[in-house]
């Protein structure tokens, strides 16, 4: 297992290297002048040239990339063009907000998705099954921003149960986490239902039933152990997307996480922030995939990594 983990960790290095090149070229080849962003559009030409020289923008792209890599390996992602705040410090401050939001969203998604998926599969073609499928398709069809605005209108504005936006207490987390977890929960329901139905047709399940075991024992001991492996894979991928995809929900609820930071940086062509966030989102996606693969061995002890 340890050798497998080390191989996977070393395998991330070339992937991250390619991502740094793509991110660096992408933000440097897009329209926009960072000097005008930092010092204003009214700056005179002489000062403009001095600032370009001082910031290193007159150097070849290869030199700029090399300088970026050296600084990045030391944990220095530079200063924000717009705010002149250290990017690493700002990301560390905001990461906690996004992480807590996505973990809670994933909690709702797994509890609701796995629970409803199992119920739907074990009660196939019943009223509960048909109702859950209709609700799932509806949830997948609703845009996140629209659902967020609707529950904000009902539960925050009309009923006054939750704050409309902001952060600071656990109650601020409820509406944005539910909004963020809705689509993932619907996806998990469909995945869990299909996976459980497939395992229910296996011979060892029929054998367990023929031996007279209770249906609850068959489901929990024989079905879920194998049926949950593809669900865990998909949930891990969804969690990776959630951290990078909380942009819309954070904007709707004014949540001060990385998503809103990314939107503000893209609008302001804040290159150091965009580069750092692209790399961070890519890294967390790779790490989550590794954790998902490792979790297989715990779900099914028969799986071994050599």
Task: Give the number of C-alpha atoms closer than 13 A to the C-alpha of residue 166, restricted to the C-beta side.
Answer: 7
Cβ–Cβ under 8 Å, residues 69 and 279: no
Mean pLDDT of the chain: 82
HEC sequence for 49-114? HHHHHHHCCCCCHHHHHHHHHHHHHCCCCCECCCCCCEHHHHHHHHHHHHHHHHHHHHHHHHHHHH
Could you tell me which residues come within 8 angstroms of residue 279 by beta carbon, excluding any fewer than 6 positions away?
Answer: 16, 19, 20, 23, 72
What's the pTM value of the predicted model, to 2 decimals? 0.76
| Nearest Cα to Cα of residue 83 among 267, 278, 265 | 265
pLDDT in tens, 122-138: 888 889 889 988 988 88
250 vs 294, higher pLDDT: 250
Could you tell me which residues come within 8 angstroms of residue 8 by beta carbon, excluding any fewer than 6 positions away?
Answer: 290, 293
72 vs 3, higher pLDDT: 72
Cβ–Cβ under 8 Å, residues 143 and 179: no
Residue 44: is its pLDDT beyond 80?
no
Task: Give the number of C-alpha atoms closer than 13 A to the C-alpha of residue 55, restricted to the C-beta side.
Answer: 21
pLDDT in tens, 45-75: 777 787 777 777 778 888 888 888 888 888 8
pLDDT of residue 175: 92
């Amino acid at each position: 297992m340890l050798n497998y983990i080390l191989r996977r960790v070393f395998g991330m290095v070339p992937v991250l290297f390619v991502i740094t090149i793509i991110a660096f070229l992408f933000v440097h080849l897009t329209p926009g002048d960072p000097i005008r962003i930092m010092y204003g559009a009214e700056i005179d030409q002489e000062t403009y040239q001095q600032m370009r020289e001082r910031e290193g923008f007159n150097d070849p792209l290869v030199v700029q990339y090399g300088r970026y890599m050296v600084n990045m390996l030391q944990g220095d992602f530079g200063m924000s063009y717009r705010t002149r705040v250290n990017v690493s410090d700002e990301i560390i401050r905001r990461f906690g907000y996004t992480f807590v939001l996505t973990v809670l969203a994933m909690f709702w998604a797994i509890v609701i998705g796995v629970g409803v998926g199992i119920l739907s599969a074990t009660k196939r073609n019943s009223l509960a099954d048909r109702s859950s499928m209709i609700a799932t398709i509806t949830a997948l069809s609703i845009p996140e921003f629209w659902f967020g605005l609707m529950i904000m209108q009902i539960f925050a504005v009309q009923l006054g149960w939750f704050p409309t936006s902001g952060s600071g207490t656990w109650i601020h987390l409820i509406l944005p986490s539910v909004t963020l977890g809705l689509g993932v929960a619907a996806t998990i329901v469909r995945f869990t239902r299909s996976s459980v139905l497939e395992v229910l047709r296996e011979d060892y399940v029929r054998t367990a039933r023929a031996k007279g075991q209770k249906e609850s024992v068959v489901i929990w001991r024989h079905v879920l152990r194998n049926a949950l492996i593809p669900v865990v894979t998909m949930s891990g991928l969804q969690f990776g997307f959630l951290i990078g995809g909380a942009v819309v929900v954070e904007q709707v609820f004014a949540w001060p996480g990385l998503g809103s930071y990314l939107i503000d940086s893209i609008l302001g062509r804040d290159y150091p922030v965009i580069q750092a966030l692209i790399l961070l989102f890519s890294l967390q996606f790779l790490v989550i995939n590794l954790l998902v693969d490792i979790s297989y061995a715990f779900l099914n002890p028969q799986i071994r990594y050599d």
